[in-house]
Amino acid sequence: THVVTEACIRCKYTDCVDVCPVDCFREGPNFLTIDPDECIDCAVCIPECPANAIVPEEDVPGNQQHMIKLNAELAKSWPSITKRKPALPDADEWKDKTGKLSELIR
Ligand code: F3S
């Protein structure tokens, strides 16, 4: 599967959802997650994300390992998103920030 890392938090650009052939993205208030049961590892979403938030599971950096479980967990309760929508209003300000996990709204 592919994993959405912390870089997405408070940005949610949603460019990723438009290219997903299997509609595997799920939407929360300020973060998107990938449903690992649906993702086919096509990787087309990776270059679409302005925050470089999406990585293949095997390439998830050590400090983002917790996001693997979190994507799977949140995907179970969040609704599907299949169409791009405007990013969060201050997305550009949050794009390059790190350690955003405490900002995640469930
Ligand atoms: Fe998030 Fe990037 Fe998609 S910021 S919503 S993973 S385009």
Strands 25-27, 32-34: parallel, antiparallel or unpaired by DSSP? antiparallel
What is the predicted pLDDT for the residue at 80? 98
Tokens of 98: 């790190």
Compute the CA torsion angle 61, 64, 66, 67 (nearest 10 deg): -110
pTM of the full structure = 0.98
Residue 86 pLDDT grade (very low, low, confident, very high; cuts 50, 70, 90) = very high
Once rounded to an integer, what is the mean pLDDT over residues 82-91?
A: 98
Is-contact 7 81, C-beta < 8 A?
no
- Are the beta carbons of 64 and 2 closer than 8 angstroms? no
Q: Which tens digit of pLDDT belongs to each residue from 13-30?
A: 999 999 999 999 999 999
CA distance 43 to 63: 21
Of 18, 32, 93, best ligand 1 pocket probe by most atoms within 8 Å of the beta carbon: 32
Confidence check on the interface: ipTM exceeds 0.90, yes or no: yes
Average pLDDT over residues 44-73: 98
Provide, rounded to the nearest whole percent, the portion of the chain with pLDDT above 90: 100
Dist CA 100 CA 21 (whole Å)? 28
What is the average pLDDT score of the chain?
98
Share of the chain above pLDDT 70, in %: 100
Q: Which atom of ligand 1 is nearest to the CA of 12?
A: 5
